[in-house]
Every structure is written in structure tokens, then in C-alpha cells.
Chain A
């Protein structure tokens, strides 16, 4: 079946603008995760949604970052007033449940803030 999809695949934006990144998880997966990968920081956890529970936002680097998951499926990661240090690849993953299952990753969105 279809894997995790993300859009756009690449995004170039000017400093100070807002961006929205989209993630479509695998159908039936109740858990959804956002990670960020940048050269200096490696792979960082951002936020985790599990079913109808309150999301784990402990990895969000600042209040400019927010995410929502509508209808338990599609998720949008929003970055407001983008900064150059936000440039990174943003990876979304989903898993069947939030327990111990492996995570399936999308291809990522490469964000470049100029």
C-alpha cells in the first residue's frame, strides 16, 4: 500500500515568512511523528500525536513551531516567522500504534530559508 507522503518535497522561503508542511500518514496508523534533520543537529524529535491523546510537543524548539492533526490522519507542521536556522529536512513518520512499533518515514520536506 501507499507509504507516508509529504508535501512539498522542497520549499524555499524568505526569512520572516510562515510555512506549512504537510504529512499524509499510512492509512490506519494511529501514531504520527515529526522530526527535523539538519547538518549541525542530526535527527531531532519535534512532536508526536497518538490517537486522540494530547500530543507530545516536548521537541518543538520554539513557540514559532506548531502542528496539528486533523481527523486523526493528515498533519500539518507550521513554522511562523521562519529563521535561517529553521533550514533543514523535516521528516514525518507514522506507526500502527504508539507503543513499540517501528516507524515508517516519509521522504521529507527540504526547507530552505533565505
Chain B
């Protein structure tokens, strides 16, 4: 079963705009991770935020975590056409990752 929900399910923006995706989860976690998937194949790890962290940055990515609300957000700033992909949050508790349903992002050039 899935750990949580992501919204929106689909997002379409113009190049240069910011994209925000949200993720909610149900149980306690060690950390929360965001992954990107192109063309329905392998996933690429983007960023990991630990349960005792509230915000983390990596390049154009900003992730926040609110453990009291069991939610996280991923912000991609100054989006590019190459950012077009599906984005998944995943929570890790006892080793395995539990994924959300994902957000499909389309960045129009």
C-alpha cells in the first residue's frame, strides 16, 4: 500500500516558472526522499531530508518537511524543459522506501 498522497497529480508550467509539489505521509519516518523518473524507467535520487530537518536546498531544489503535519514539499525554481518528468516522494522507515503516487510535471519551452 502507498504511504501517502502527492498533489497535484499533474502540473504544467512555462519554462522559467517555479514548480511546487506536495507530499503527505501517514506514519513516522527516518527520512523523506524525493526522486525523479523520466520515461517510466529508472528513478534518480534528488534530495534527502531527515526527520530532524525542516528545510534543505540542493541547486534549484528546495525541500521542506513538517513532521507535525506529516507533509513535505518540493520546490523547483527557474524550471527548465529538461525538468519534465515524474516526481515521487518516498519515506523510509525500516529500510524499504514507500512511495507516493507521484506528480507529473511538464515544463513547456
Name A's B-contacting residues (CB within 8 A): 4, 31, 33, 35, 37, 42-45, 48, 50, 56, 58-59, 89, 91, 93, 98-100, 102-108
Contacts and interface: CB of A to CB of B under 8 A. Distances in A.
Nearest to B2: A42
Interface string B3-43: 00000000000000000000000000011010100001111
B50 interface: yes
Contacts of A31: 95
B97 interface: yes
A45 B35 CA distance: 15
A33 B96 contact: yes
User: Which 10 A-B residue pairs are closest in the complex by CB-CB distance?
Assistant: A43-B99, A102-B45, A105-B43, A107-B42, A45-B96, A105-B42, A98-B95, A48-B96, A42-B101, A108-B41
Given A100-B50, A100-B92, A102-B48, 20 more contacts: A4-B42, A33-B97, A35-B99, A42-B100, A42-B101, A45-B96, A45-B97, A56-B96, A58-B96, A89-B40, A89-B41, A91-B43, A93-B43, A98-B95, A99-B95, A102-B33, A103-B33, A105-B44, A107-B41, A107-B42
Contacts of B96: 33, 45, 48, 56, 58-59
A56 B101 CA distance: 22
16 contacts: A33-B95, A33-B97, A35-B99, A42-B99, A42-B100, A42-B102, A43-B90, A43-B102, A89-B41, A100-B31, A100-B48, A103-B97, A104-B45, A105-B44, A106-B42, A107-B42
Given A102-B33, A102-B48, A50 B40 contact: no
B87 interface: no
A3 B30 CA distance: 25
A62 B44 CA distance: 28
A106 B88 CA distance: 16
A83 B98 CA distance: 24
Contacts of B48: 100, 102
B94 interface: yes
